[in-house]
Amino acid sequence: MAKSVSSTTAQANGTLTYTIGITVTGGGANNLVETDVLPSGLTFVSFGNMPTGTTPSSNGQNLKWILPSPLAVGTYQLTYTAQVDNLVSGGDLINNAQLTFAGLAAPLTSSVDVQVTGLYTVNINIYNSAGEVVKTIKVKEYSQPINNITLSQTNTITELQGPNSTISIYYGGVLISTWDGSDNSGNPVTNGTYEIKVDSVSPTGVVTSVDQQAVVDRHIATITANIYNSSGELVRTLYYTTGQGTNAQMTNVNLSANLMTLGSTANSGSTTLLQIFINTSATPVTLTWDGTNNTGSNVTSGTYSVQLHWDDGNGQTTDITRSVVVMTGGASGTVLAEPNVLEPSSTLTTTFNGSGITNASILSAKVYTIAGELVASIPGTPGVATNQWTATGMASGVYIVAVEVRDVNGGILEHQLLKVLVLR
């Protein structure tokens, strides 16, 4: 089975005749079925030659021939005509034929390629009311210039997602592009009137331009998460927009953990990625912080403030702040307090973990107030490189923990100061 076409190049509205040749050898063949799938850009016109007794059918882009059974030894042809669409992008039109018959292990296939000349380079730009380009949509080559456009049902974007969140751009009933109300950075544009302009450039440089007005009228809420270190310096900003602006407010914020461990797999009670769960009076929103600053580097150990700001787009704002402790370097060669934020709603007991220190055999600790007052002295247990402190009865505040790690011979391997925050 083989396939050919009347011309390997075509332009818009051109007609092509395809021929499928079938040769039967041996003692004939039974239950032969030929199929062909037309690519986008081609429209079926009519069937041509075929063996007597063949039953053809077409369903959209799918063509099918059921040949007589048995089909005697000989050579046969199937032909059909298709037309190149009025508007077609430049490039290859490839359609694939497939033949099956009784006893065949795998279908026989054959393809043919027609090159469509895209004479016009088409570019779509979206302009704001100040005449600035806010969005450039991917350039394509078409067989003819776009000399008029229509917009889908409405020219107004009213939602951030789902229905009414995009505008479809048509030429002669053919969809040529869509705009989702975003700028070149992928951020939603502000509400206002915009111009959708389509420029078609001919091979000689002649430009055909058409335009239509579009309106963006969305009620968008913005969520900004500013993360500050203990010195009050802004280290990271997370930003999110949601189509919940109308009458929706931020009601609460929860963190997935009070402790982040960077640089290794998280230990018990901590996480390597912090999820910020934002409850609203509409749909909840989740942001994720990976412990990096705005330049992409990991932050240093310490207590960080996560400040959430909600703006409903109509002048109503809400602010909520939460705290998280970040530890860097993981457990390898370092003692960790797991967790180092203690509160009655979760736990008032922290574990000092020195198991990642080579040859660690015993860990002891002394707990001091920020003023230097000793509040607990915790001896270690030989052969156990961990220890615990329970903050029952302790006042809220930051406590300094001096830990000492020794080997089996009593040699000091590590002196380290940790911070533990008690919240009551």
What are the domain boundaries of the chain? 2-116, 120-216, 221-328, 336-422
The CATH number of the structural domain formed by 120-216 is 2.60.40
CATH number, domain 2-116: 2.60.40.740
Contact 201, 142 (CB under 8 A): no
> Which CATH number, 2.60.40.1220, 3.20.20.100, 2.60.120.380, 3.30.465.10, labels domain 336-422?
2.60.40.1220
Q: What is the pLDDT along the chain (424 residues), one digit of tens a residue?
A: 999 999 988 877 789 999 999 999 888 899 999 999 998 888 999 999 999 999 999 999 999 999 999 999 999 999 999 998 776 666 678 889 999 999 899 999 999 998 877 678 889 999 999 999 999 997 677 777 888 999 987 899 988 888 889 999 998 888 889 999 999 988 889 889 999 999 988 888 889 999 999 999 988 888 999 999 877 899 999 988 887 666 788 999 999 887 777 765 444 445 678 999 999 888 899 999 999 999 998 888 777 899 999 988 777 889 999 988 776 654 456 788 888 888 888 789 999 988 878 889 999 999 999 888 999 999 999 999 999 999 999 999 999 999 999 999 999 888 888 889 998 7
Which residue has tokens 């997935």? 256
Q: How far is CA 185 from the centre of its chain?
A: 14
| Domain 120-216 in the same topology as domain 2-116 | yes
Please choose, from the candidates 212, 79, 242, the residue with its C-alpha nearest in 3D space to the C-alpha of residue 152.
212
End-to-end CA distance of the chain: 82
SS3 assignment, position 201: strand
Nearest CA among 332, 324, 348 for reference residue 270: 324
Q: d(Cα 66, Cα 54) in Å, to the nearest integer?
A: 6
Q: Domain 221-328 has what CATH class? A: mainly beta
CA distance 251 to 59: 54
Strand partners, 364: 404
